Structure 1
Amino acid sequence: MPQRRRVARAAVSTAAAAACLTLATPAWASSTVPLHSDHEGKTAANFSEQKCDDPKFDNLPAGHDGWHFVLPTNGAGDFESLTLTFSAGIAGTVTVNVPDPTDPYTDFLSSTGGRNPQVKHAYVFTPAGWTLVDGTATISGEADRFNLSHTCPGTPVTQSPTPTPTQTPTPTPTESDSESPNPSVTPSNSGGAGGGDSDDEGGLPVTGAAATTIALLGVGLIGGGATLLVLRRRRDNITFTS
């Protein structure tokens, strides 16, 4: 009977000790760890490990790079969030938060699966050509750093430049073009005995010889008219007297 009591007391003492150890074990507090320094300043295209057959990259959009970050398994805890800084060329510096509640398909965390899942993976999709400058991760535990596991480089999308419309040069007016011709007609000069040129539209120049001929014709017509007048009077006289 005393022996049974000693065994029972030993069992109770062992259970109590285990309970005390469980209560004394502290819960893992959140901590912040940096990105591995060897992985800073990298583009997806020049990173040493490239693996596009990762199933998580199946939905990688065209013209984008895929980034896979991991928390070393020898450290305790899981990813809670990441803050990554990228250089986007002329667009400047861009900060990417993981997970991104506004776009859970491009910046997200992933667990290891299995019976004891752990959130050891993080994925980020960025426009192709960005450079990973640095980053930090908040984890539920302790670790020295987190790493860039591998990348899937995309092809940058190039846009055809809009053609600049060509302008037809305006011809420079010459001196002859700038002077407008005088549409007026120079009045004809009245010709005397010596004659002159006539600029009347459709007229011909009248020379001195032509003027003399016209004058003679006029005199002849006048003389012929006078002769006819005399003959008519004579005829009238003859008719009257008879």
Structure 2
Amino acid sequence: MSNLLDSVDSSKFEPPPEAVDFYVESLRLLKESGIPFLLSGTYALACFTGITRPTKDLDVFCKPSDAPKILGFFKGRGYRIDIEDERWIGKVWKDEHFFDVIYNMSTASIPVTDHWFQQAYEAEIYGTNVRITPPTEFVLSKLFLQDRYRYDGADVAHVILKKHAEIDWRYLLDAMELYWEVLLIHVLNFRFIYPTERECIPRWLFDELIARLQAQADMPAARMRICRGRLFSPRDYVMDIAEWGFADVVGKGIEERHERKP
């Protein structure tokens, strides 16, 4: 069953006028391709919360096996494609405009799967009806974005506030099995931001995460000194890896590309 969301006034995203045609054409071609995809990012946030803000691109999510198909589809129609990081993201370009093709989290630990497509949320964006990333997966996609220049914790809190009844909390916990502490961070963050709305997050989830924290506190420190900070921000924890002797769990180069190059 499809959840049809209200259409979004695309002008509120303040795209450059010359970019609008690219977005319109891109979404039309994505639908035409027949390859399953989900629109996420700022557009999904607007659909779930009504919050709009300027954005420079589109975030298109798909399964890893479908990413080459989408990139190839656009390449065959004269667009330039770029594999920014084989583990999670590619781009489709037309002049200086682009959209992201995302098939994994930047941590390379949570790929997009069929589960992301089980709940159908649809909205009209730039004149095309497209499927939107469901609330559960939207939250999942934002948990690790904690950078000096970008922190998406507010997006997580707002979607939990507005869509908590539609979030699959068990699946969210399972998906964060390896990095459950990050989920706990956002649970505590939400409880602090909305002290009167704590019941939005199931008590069993809070109890489970606290039990894990207590069990972990009784364990000795690992022999290998590691820094997981670069899962949040590759650039903000370079010193830890390059000079302070911590092992890196990210596997990215010390010189990380951040600027968007045409």
Sort the TM-score into its range (normalised by shorter chain).
under 0.3
Scaled by the length of structure 2, what TM-score is found? 0.19
Larger radius of gyration: 1
Scaled by the length of structure 1, what TM-score is found? 0.20
Higher strand share: 1
Higher helix share: 2
Structure with the larger RCO, 1 or 2 (CA within 8 Å, 6+ apart): 1
